[in-house]
Structures are given as C-alpha cells and as structure tokens.
Chain A
Amino acid sequence: MSAAVQEAGGYNFAYLDEATKRMIRRAILKGLAIPGHQIPFGAREMPLPYGWGTGGIQVTASVLGPRDRLKVIDQGADDTTNAVSIRRFFQRVAGVKVTTRTAEATVIQTRHRIPERPLTEGQVLVFQVPMPEPLFRLEPRLAETRRLHALGDYSLAQLRLYEDIARQGETGSSYNHPVMVNGRYLMSPSPIPGYDNPKLHRSAAILLFGAGREKKIYAVPPWTEVSSLDFDDHPFRPMLAAAPCAFCGSRDSYKDEIVSDDRGGRVFVCSDTDHCRENQR
C-alpha cells in the first residue's frame, strides 16, 4: 500500500481518509446484515457532481484493496465518459489494476446495468444509485416511507403496479422495477433495466448500492432471494429487444438502440461492451 500512497503524493490510499472508510464499511456491514434495508451514512463531498456516481465511488473506495482489479461500466459500456473518468480516478488515487473484462474484475462499479456474464463468488458489484427510496413518487414524506418499510406495508407499490397494468396492459416500468429482498424489504434496484432484475436473485457476488446525494447505502448479500414485484396472474416479464446485436449477433443480451443515419436507420447493439467483444472473438 505504501507505494500507492507515495504515488498519490501523500494522499491516503483510495482517496477517502481511513475514518470515513470505516464509517462507510460499518454502513455496508449493516446493509449486508439487513438485506435491502437502507442505511444512512455521512456521504462526503467527492470530486465529481451528484448524479455522476458519488455514492458508488465512495462505496468502491471503501471496499477497494491494493490487490483488487477494478472494472467500471456506465450503461454496460467500459468506454463512456463516466466509466473512463472513474476508472482513471482510482488508478490515480489507489494505483489498483484495472480491467474491462468482467471475468477478471474483483470489484465492478456500475451505473444502470449488471454485466451479462454471470458474476462469481468473491466479486463485488457496486451500484450507483440516484434515488434509493422505492416508494419515492408514491409517498412524498420520507418519514412516512420509513414507517411503511418498518411495517412492511407495500400496498402502495402494488397499487402503482395495478395502475400500470390497468393503463398499459403490462407493468410499465421497463427499468428500476422494485424488488422484494429476502421477502422483507422493498428495494429499488437502482435504474437497471427490468431484464437485469432476475440477475439480482441468488447472485453469487456481493451487491452493494451507494446513493451519495441521498446519503444511503444498502446491500444484498450473496445467494439472497430477490423477487420482482408482480401479480400472481400478471407475472413480471422483463423486456428484451427482438433484434440481434449488429456487431456480435447475440439475441439474448440487453441492447441499446442506436440511430445509425439521418434517414431513420436504427441498429441494436449489446449494451455490455465486454460481453459483445467476447462474442465477436
């Protein structure tokens, strides 16, 4: 570690001071002990704006060790601005090895996606969360949402689902679809597409969620039951674009729709760039 500290010019390993890291680790441990429950923590000012991953970056900084190998994705891609700058940030302040390969990474910070390749035991997936409260927009008072969580009263979320089906025929939320964790807490999966929801269920990897602006951390320990909220006669069905990937031809991966010319041409490509590259090989 000393080499990394020297490289960073007197700064502590991985940017945050040790007291802050310990505070965040305590919040993470509490989160793991109560799956899906939001733990408040004292989020620090980070050198990037709210909404760019201040929560995720603090969680990553707290769990990162010198021997870790970090991967950062934004909407599944390793080469977008947000992913590149956060990856470079940790290279600089922690001196850790980085990778774009899901299989090689020990810590993966992600915005809005879960990698296509199944995660393995020992991997940690860190989500950037803009709004941790799943009852947000249903109940405006945060004090009341806390009470509803305590009482396990989630009829409001069920009501929202009812409304979606009544209006649109299907559950309207194609992303950020709320999940029940361990049969107890309703949790916002951060805005991942519904297609990724089933990957939360009995995941081998540790799933950590950090919300910087809202100052909340929550977690799902490995092999935890996670089910998407639905009705018995209208089960949750994730959506998937019917077209194959224009690059690798994959039909079962989640796609981004890209405008390819100014005459209305559109192509679908894998949102997970690592998965796409592996398929092309």
Chain B
Amino acid sequence: MSALLEADGLRLRFGAAPALDGVSVAIWPGEVVAVVGESGSGKSTLLRALSGQITADAGTVHYAGQDVLALSEAGRRRLMRTEWGYVHQNARDGLRLGVSAGGNVGERLMAAGERRYDSIREVAAHWMERVELDPSRMDEPPRNFSGGMQQRLQIARCLVTEPRLVFMDEPTGGLDVSVQARLLDLIRKLAKEMGLAVFLVTHDIAAARLLAHRILVMRRGQVVEEGLADRVLDDPRHPYTQLLVSSVLAA
C-alpha cells in the first residue's frame, strides 16, 4: 500500500517570513492526520499547498501517484470536486447562501454529470439524514440553519460524491462546545464508515486527540514533531509541543 497524498520538501516564503520551511507529509488511505500549532505556524498554508490552492516555491505534491502541481486547472478542479473535499472553517465560505440546502448538497453531483433531478433530490435527502439534518428542510436556504447545522450541511456537500481525501480547516472553529462535540463525533463516525483520509488543521488540541490517528506539530513553517496522536500528546518530546500540550485548559 502506498501513501494517498505525499508531499516532499515544501518551501514557501511570504516576503521574508518562511511559511513552509522544508515540510514533508504523507497521508495514507483511511488515516486522519491533524496538524496543530499556534497562529502563523504555517498550518493553513500547508493545507492550501497540499490541496493545490497555492503553489509552493519548491517541493512536490503527489496524489495517488499523480503530480498535483503539474495538473492542469481542469484536472485540479476535477480532483477537487470528485476525489477531494474541502471543509472551510466558516460554513458560509463553503456553502452557497443563495441556494437551498438540497441544492448545496446536490451541486457536486451535477458537476459530476448527474442530470436526473429526482436522483439528485434522493441523494441529497439521504446525505442530510446522514449528517443529522432534517431532510424535510432541504428546500430551505442555509441561513435558516444554525452555525452547527450549517457546518454539517457543508460536510454533507463535501462528502456527497464519496471523496477519498478531505481537507478540513478548523472545522469546529467558532462553534460553542456542545455543538463542537457533536460535530467531532459526526466527523469521526463518517470518516470511519467511509474510510476517509482526513487532513485536519486545528489549534484545538482536544479536537486533534479525539479525531486524529497521527499528529504533526508545526512551528515557524517547520514540522517540529510528528507521531501517533496519543504518543505526541501524552509524551511530547519537543519543548514547543510540551508547551502546547501543557497550555490546554482543563474544564
């Protein structure tokens, strides 16, 4: 078995500041990898570089054997809406607010060439149910939904084409704790059921512990520590990881 997504020696500078300084990552099929670190450590930049949204100054990214950076825009878009999913921190960035919930979920199906209205509705209803939304509300606009529901709708919209790899950028950011817990539970369940590989960026150590199999700790554009989730969190070796883990507030 080979890695699903493999990046090697990624480097990127924003002016004088190195955002990525020789980062190498591999994500295996069905694996949840979390990247933790403080603001400005390069987590989100790494996410964007891996998903091909920005091009690194140096380094390679391979997905299932193909060179992501060498893909044409058409190829990248095809990948982005079939094999990949992207969950934004703010559900409003990932959803079309002028379009009904069902339309939001069905868009990727239509992009993939589905031309039967009834089957789009059927699949959209099924997916709303899977993310614990009431399918009878599928013709309502997303603004009628609460923040947590919008986030679940965004996840349904991503997963409807059964992608193999999902990028998540702080999926629980800005939600209150009980809603966070429910969302984390849902993501964990879906990832397990579908055998999803997830690349998760978060500053929430608790979320990383709950979801991730493996954790990368980033600081100043470098991966300072990498290992199994419980090993990194319970036995942190790098001084920065020790600081990070000890900074978590216990309720």
A residues bordering B, Cβ < 8 Å?
A: 147, 151, 153, 155, 158-159, 162-163, 165-167, 231-234
Contacts and interface: CB of A to CB of B under 8 A. Distances in A.
Interface of B: 73-74, 77, 96, 99-100, 102-103, 106-108, 110-111, 115-118, 120-121, 139
B111 A232 contact: no
Nearest to A166: B139
Contacts of A162: 102-103, 106, 110, 117, 120
13 contacts: A147-B73, A153-B77, A155-B107, A155-B111, A158-B110, A158-B115, A159-B96, A162-B103, A162-B120, A166-B100, A231-B115, A231-B117, A233-B116
Contacts of B73: 147, 151
A106 to B, nearest CB: 39
A233 B103 contact: no
A234 B117 contact: yes
Nearest to A234: B117
B118 A163 contact: no
A79 B95 CA distance: 49
A195 B147 CA distance: 43
Contacts, number: 45
Contact of A166 (B77, B103, B108, B111): B103
A233 B118 contact: yes
Contacts of A158: 110, 115
A165 B106 contact: no
A20 B113 CA distance: 42
B231 to A, nearest CB: 43
A234 B121 CA distance: 13
B107 A232 contact: no
A158 B111 CA distance: 8
Q: Which 6 A-B pairs have the closest CB atoms?
A: A155-B111, A231-B117, A158-B110, A155-B110, A232-B115, A234-B117
B106 to A, nearest CB: 6
B160 to A, nearest CB: 13
Contact of B99 (A163, A231, A233): A163
Contacts of B139: 166-167
B96 to A, nearest CB: 8
Contacts of B116: 231-233
Contacts of B107: 155, 159
A83 B72 CA distance: 48
B156 to A, nearest CB: 15
B99 A159 contact: yes
Given A158-B110, A231-B115, A233-B118, A163 B77 contact: no
A114 B29 CA distance: 56
Contacts of B118: 233
A165 B99 CA distance: 12
B62 to A, nearest CB: 23
Given A155-B108, A163-B99, A165-B117, 13 more contacts: A159-B96, A159-B99, A159-B107, A162-B103, A162-B106, A162-B117, A162-B120, A166-B103, A166-B121, A167-B100, A231-B115, A231-B117, A232-B115
A153 B117 CA distance: 18
A152 B146 CA distance: 35
A57 B229 CA distance: 70
Nearest to A157: B110
A163 B100 contact: yes
Nearest to A167: B139
Among A153, A162, A163, A234, the most chain B Cβ lie within 10 Å of the Cβ of: A162
